[in-house]
Structure 1
Amino acid sequence: MPRNTSSTPDKSGRWIVSKFGGPDVLKWDSWDPFAETLPADHVIVRIITAGIAGTDNIQRVGGYPDPRCSKPGFTLGYDFIGEVVALGSEASKRNPLSVGDRVTAMDGIGAHATHIILPAAELIRVEKTDDPVKFCAIPLNYSTAFGMLKRAVTNLVPGSSILIGSASGGVGTAVAELVNAFKMDLKMIGTCSPSKFDYIKSLGVIPVDRRAPDLVNQVRALTGGEGVDVAYDAVGSDESIQKSLQATKKDVGQVIVIGAMSEIAVDGSGVRQQEADLHTLLQQRLQSRVAFWSVISNYKVAQPKLWHGDLQRVFEKVRSGELSPTIAKLFRLRDAVKAHETLISGTDVKGKMLFIVDEDLATQHGL
């Protein structure tokens, strides 16, 4: 088995959420996937790179609307690039894969590990020549962003304007880069802290201080007093949603809520409201012209062929060089606690964060 970047480099394993709470609840588990009984239609994949995202933060503290995360004991990690190392007896009938194939998936959990076991039908083949760092950013972040732009709304024609909440983060960066790569001709305004203004300007986005008391007026001034056609809100609080709505065009502007980061305690130790899961809380805040959009339920599950086709379109943009996903920071798998601390602070996060799990690849990137 190739060496990995965990604390047990010659052995397989995974990070476990031992209880809901801050980064220190993550515990390393020396787990042998080959000792498991492999279902006939499943595949064992050796993970090469794994994505780190805001959803990991929410899952770790509890309240994430997925029954697999309802109790501690699960492994975080939404997406990955990996190599097929074993197939169940019926797996190749569900998906024409072979040992040694490179694959990706967006399963929602399980990727912060050296290996993952998934149904063959969940896996999407990528080329061995595809950069496992750049391509690992695509399934969650760039797929979410593409769906936000093309599938969550219907009124974004050339010349339209959008407000990107948390514009310097992984999804915000992806939105801006996809607008440019696909030549969508949209006016982009983005919220972030002043220290990141230069960064989002480099993406073609007009920056606005996310804490500015006159944020709505600034956005309206930048759009000739009208407001934007669509505002994307990753915070999800009552206040944030109202500001987003006020920043859109009167009577016709739309707000697309994609997250509930406001519900996490500032120190990342838990959720603010224990009585309801985050999906329920968001549903209670929806109103006319405000909708919640999920890349899993509204896109991958509800429209699987469309989602898969869109994913391939983004892949091709990366292969052609028209799109180069921005990677904020790379971590060795053993540094999961540190990665989550960085995720909570957000100070240096400009783009997508990743674990490099394969030791040789980590060495190539100077880790």
Structure 2
Amino acid sequence: MQAWQVHENGEPDEVMRLAEVDRPVPGDGQVLLRVRAANVNFPDALLCRGEYQIRPPLPFTPGLEICGETEDGRRVIANPALPHGGFAEYALADARALLPAPEALDDAEAAALHIGYQTGWFGLHRRARLEAGETLLVHAAAGGVGSAAVQLGKAAGARVIGVVGGADKAAVARELGCDAVVDRRAEDVVAAVKEATGGRGADVVYDSVGGAAYAQSAKLVAFEGRIVVVGFASGTIPSPALNHALVKNYSIVGLHWGLYHTKNPGLVLQCHEQLTELAARGVVRPLVSERVPLGEAATAVRKVADGRSTGRIAVVTEAAV
């Protein structure tokens, strides 16, 4: 079979190599899946660089979420078991963690209705306790993680403000349903959000960027607001001033979605059932901006790493194109 492999750490388009390899053999509790579509995530680039919290042995195949097919023909969503990731014709996954792919979505969309949407659901509902009528601010609102949070925020009845970088991404954020959009390249984010909220700020801030975005978040979070720390796509991990959180009376909450698989796996299934229902009703639909063949996976990972993509890029097999 064909699979992309990383033999040394570095930039994705420099270290990912497409090779002919043997199909992986399932271990105890694992299943072999034919990959129908694999979603590209920012952590794929971190894996290539050796900067992710998980460091699989070299060589490994990146690709953290897929829509695949079991040997008995079931269409499922899975997180591949590294080092046998999803940028390949076949991957391995934990049999207990397989989720049924929603019938309302095609393979690429189904692959994208997983990490980003699960993260959004847990972040907004479990950690931030977002309520209808509240104002939600989403950084990088046109990206894969941000676009999911925008849709889930609207589904929850929140007023959503999206922060983006560039006019093209601003247009995408508006199409996603943002009630207000702030272009950080052309506007003062803090001033624009304060104006949009009558000086009050945002009740919930969804931050997958870190760095300067977090500094803005602390300035514009409302009284009794909640900043949800999801990740650090900027590459800079901020050091919050806890005295500031005390004086302004807001909460800083972290979200590591992967922990729920071991700490409370039942909630992952519950979340998937709710996401499937929202997809069936057309309330949420992953924004898949590009579908590329397996041979273009390395270029796609680099594009996501450089922040040049909107929504999700999906790597699809020839049979699923």
TM-score after normalising by structure 2: 0.88
CA drift of 1:361 comes to: 2.1
Q: Give 3-state SS (helix, strand or coil) of 1:174's partner.
A: helix
CA drift of 1:193 comes to: 2.0
Partner of 2:21: 31
Pick from 219, 222, 244 the counterpart of residue 246 of structure 1: 219
Partner of 1:57: 45
Rounded to whole Å, the distance in 1 between the matches of 2:196 and 2:285 is 28
Partner of 1:144: 119
Partner of 1:329: 290
Closer/same/farther in 2, CA of residues 40 and 226 from structure 1, 3 Å limit = closer
Rounded to whole Å, the distance in 2 between the matches of 1:254 and 1:62 is 31
Which amino acid in structure 1 is aligned with residue 319 of structure 2?
A: D
CA drift of 1:360 comes to: 2.6
Q: Give 3-state SS (helix, strand or coil) of 1:253's partner.
A: strand
Pick from 234, 237, 245 the counterpart of residue 208 of structure 2: 234
Of all paired residues, the percent bearing the same amino acid is 26
Is it true that 1:257 corresponds to 2:247 in the alignment? no
Partner of 1:160: 134
Structure 2 residues without counterparts, runs of 5 or longer: 246-250
- After the TM superposition, which segments of 4 or more aligned residues of structure 1 sit over 6 Å from their partners? none
Closer/same/farther in 2, CA of residues 187 and 125 from structure 1, 3 Å limit = closer
CA drift of 1:151 comes to: 1.3
Is residue 17–residue 75 contact of structure 1 (8 Å, CA) maintained in 2?
yes
Closer/same/farther in 2, CA of residues 311 and 14 from structure 1, 3 Å limit = same
Which amino acid in structure 1 is aligned with residue 254 of structure 2?
A: F
For structure 1, which segment, 209-218 or 38-47, has the greater mean C-alpha deviation from structure 2 after superposition? Answer: 209-218
Closer/same/farther in 2, CA of residues 321 and 241 from structure 1, 3 Å limit = closer
Which amino acid in structure 2 is aligned with residue 115 of structure 1?
A: Y
Rounded to whole Å, the distance in 1 between the matches of 2:226 and 2:92 is 39
Partner of 1:7: none
Pick from 7, 10, 24 the counterpart of residue 21 of structure 1: 10
Offset from partner CA, 1:182-231 (integer Å, 9 cap, x none): 3x221111111231222211222111122456311211111110110111
Is residue 255–residue 290 contact of structure 1 (8 Å, CA) maintained in 2?
yes
Question: Greater share of strand residues, 1 or 2?
Answer: 2
Rounded to whole Å, the distance in 2 between the matches of 1:66 and 1:59 is 8
Pick from 304, 313, 322 the counterpart of residue 274 of structure 2: 313
Closer/same/farther in 2, CA of residues 231 and 130 from structure 1, 3 Å limit = closer
Partner of 2:255: 293
Q: Give 3-state SS (helix, strand or coil) of 1:346's partner.
A: coil
CA drift of 1:319 comes to: 2.5
Which amino acid in structure 1 is aligned with residue 54 of structure 2?
A: D
TM-score after normalising by structure 1: 0.78
Which amino acid in structure 2 is aligned with residue 28 of structure 1?
A: L
Which structure: larger Rg?
1
